[in-house]
Structure 1
Amino acid sequence: MTEIIRIGMDTSKYIFQLHGVAAAEQVVLRKRISRKQVLEYFGKLPPTVIGLEACGASQHWARELSKLGHEVKLMAPQLVKPYVQRNKNDGRDAEGLCEAMSRPSMRFVPVKTAEQQAALMLTGIRDGLIARRTQLSNAIRGYAAEFGLIAAKGVDKIEPLLRRIAQDENLPDLARELFAVQGREYARLEGELKAIEARLLAWHRADALSRRLAQIPSIGP
């Protein structure tokens, strides 16, 4: 079998398209395989270089294919697009990936370990909790203003505002009940956020690279 030096693999939920070339850049592989066949197929191939678009599940496949002895190159979709021919389809996408990864100027996305991926989840979940807390804070502040209760800006002003609301006997009972619902949700978000931030700090202290980055001006604290 002709040695395959490079394979572009277009991924989807169920069917993966492969496009491989040999040393003289002649096409020696055009193949469709199911998701379940990927590891079995590449487990039988001699080590080669595989190009994937950096999108959903690409980090997983990069780790798994690396375990089989292959070198995996991840590329941002916008950098691959110029190499995909017109009339886009899975075959042309795989061909475009194969072409793009050969370019000396191509910038590749680092392959992350499972532990690094989990750390990214921490930051993503923290950002989501902060966004939800901000949205809820604005809602509480807005509803309170309709009853003449004004609070200064800042999340640290929300809990005092909720206490003022709970003690305000001029508010309708329904309003106080609904503010109480918002207060419980706010307390829950605060608790989850503190727990996530504690986990994130523990990870930072245990990760050597993260500690080194923290020493760089404008990056660290």
Structure 2
Amino acid sequence: MEKITRVGVDLAKNVMQVHAVDAAERVVVRKAIARERFVIWFANLEPCLVALEACSAAHYWARKLRTLGHEVRLIPPQFAAPYRKGGPHVKNDAQDAEAICEAASRPQMRFVPVKSPAQQSVLVLHRMRTGFVEERTALVNRLRGLLAEFGVFLAQGIRTFHQHIVDRIEDGSNELAGPARQALMRGWTQCQALDQEIAWLDKQIAEHAGHDPQAQRCMDVCGVGPLTASAAVATVVDARQFKNGRQMAAWIGTVPRQNSSGGKQRLGRITKQGNDYLRTLLFQGARSAVLTAHRRDDRLSRWIVQLQARVGYYKALVAVANKHARILWAVLAKGEKFDPSHVCIAPRAVIWATNS
């Protein structure tokens, strides 16, 4: 068998599909391997380039293969899909593995950094919190809808719901029967349990942000709290993987979608690609920054006030979220503290000032 130089792996729960080529790009191995024998197969292989699709358990397998001496690269699924033979309508594990192997050979391909167990552990807190918040929202909407069936109406908002739900259930003047009241009270008890779980996770995330130096620097940005700072540090493995702040903003999905051709630029709405959780947190933080900008007198806040007056609230919100993404890149990549009065000097201006 020829020496294997590159392997593409299509990960799955129980069976992994591998596609291996040699230095001349000839196919050497194309087979399915059971999960129990996956690491053993690579242990008997000389160190080579292994490409995995960035999906569930990909970071775990990448760490395992790196300990065996292999060079591991994670490819986003949307970057590997164009190399699949047959296009989007023809798909199987063997073609996916071949497409991943082919995509890894491209010199300009972008890869996902491998996360450490500590970073993934922090993201577990965020994902559990997100799940509990979604469950609580669904439960609150369900209880409000059931009460409305009996003419009991509650205003929207979690705070209003907490204040009036018990009184409305125990009100004897409505049409609720005994078993229905008991069922609704059990739903309210479950809602309180979810509140406690969310509060515990908020505390754990705040502790992580308070002890992490990078997260502490991120929290210096107005509108970036412990939740956003912790998520940014855990999600962005190494900010230096991005050439500049705009690349990181594009990865998060806060830059305009382009439909340009013939030298004419056509910019649309934001792409909403990349990490939707981090983008959501940035927009929530931007909302706070926009609403309170008039209370501050630093350069960034004055820019926000002028921008809102010129383009309106919603466009300013998008612009501030994009600005925060770029600021976070500078804080994480350069290790500097945030200065709201910082004035960016363009490279051409520096050259001109030096020559003059």
Tell me the amino acid that sits aligned with residue 11 of structure 2: T
Who is 1:67 aligned against?
Answer: 67
Identity of aligned residues (%): 38
CA distances 1:20-66 after superposition (whole Å, capped 9, x unpaired): 22333333333443222221221232322100112222121111111
Rounded Cα–Cα distance in structure 1 between residues aligned with 2:11 and 2:152: 54
Higher RCO by CA contacts (8 Å cutoff, separation 6 or greater): 1
CA distances 1:137-161 after superposition (whole Å, capped 9, x unpaired): 1222233334444333210111221
Give, in angstroms, the shift of residue 218 of structure 1. Answer: 5.9
Moved more, 196-205 or 163-172: 163-172
Stretches of structure 1 that go unaligned for 5 or more consecutive residues are none
Tell me the amino acid that sits aligned with residue 112 of structure 1: K
Which of 137, 140, 144 is equivalent to 2:143?
Answer: 140
Give, in angstroms, the shift of residue 8 of structure 1. Answer: 0.8
CA distances 1:178-214 after superposition (whole Å, capped 9, x unpaired): 3211211111111111112112222222334433444
Rounded Cα–Cα distance in structure 2 between residues aligned with 1:152 and 1:92: 52
Please state whether the residue corresponding to 1:108 is helix, strand or coil.
coil
1:103-142 alignment, distance < 5 Å: 103-142=106-145
Q: How many residues align?
A: 221
1:197-208 alignment, distance < 5 Å: 197-208=202-213
Backbone CA RMSD of aligned residues: 2.4
CA distances 1:115-156 after superposition (whole Å, capped 9, x unpaired): 222222211111111111111212222333344443332101
- Kept after mapping to 1: 8 A contact 2:144/2:153: yes
| Residue 148 to residue 71, structure 1, CA distance change in 2 (3 Å) | same
Stretches of structure 2 that go unaligned for 5 or more consecutive residues are 226-284, 286-356
TM-score by length of 2: 0.56
- Kept after mapping to 2: 8 A contact 1:5/1:22: yes
Tell me the amino acid that sits aligned with residue 119 of structure 1: V
Q: Does 1:25 align with 2:25?
A: yes
1:77-88 alignment, distance < 5 Å: 77-86=77-86, 88=91
| Residue 213 to residue 62, structure 1, CA distance change in 2 (3 Å) | farther
Who is 1:44 aligned against?
Answer: 44
Give, in angstroms, the shift of residue 217 of structure 1. Answer: 5.9
Moved more, 130-139 or 18-27: 18-27
Q: Does 1:152 align with 2:152?
A: no
- Kept after mapping to 1: 8 A contact 2:170/2:181: no
| Residue 211 to residue 140, structure 1, CA distance change in 2 (3 Å) | same
Q: Does 1:186 align with 2:191?
A: yes
Moved more, 32-41 or 85-94: 85-94
Tell me the amino acid that sits aligned with residue 56 of structure 2: G
- Kept after mapping to 2: 8 A contact 1:162/1:179: no
Rounded Cα–Cα distance in structure 2 between residues aligned with 1:160 and 1:178: 19
Rounded Cα–Cα distance in structure 1 between residues aligned with 2:64 and 2:195: 37
Tell me the amino acid that sits aligned with residue 15 of structure 1: V
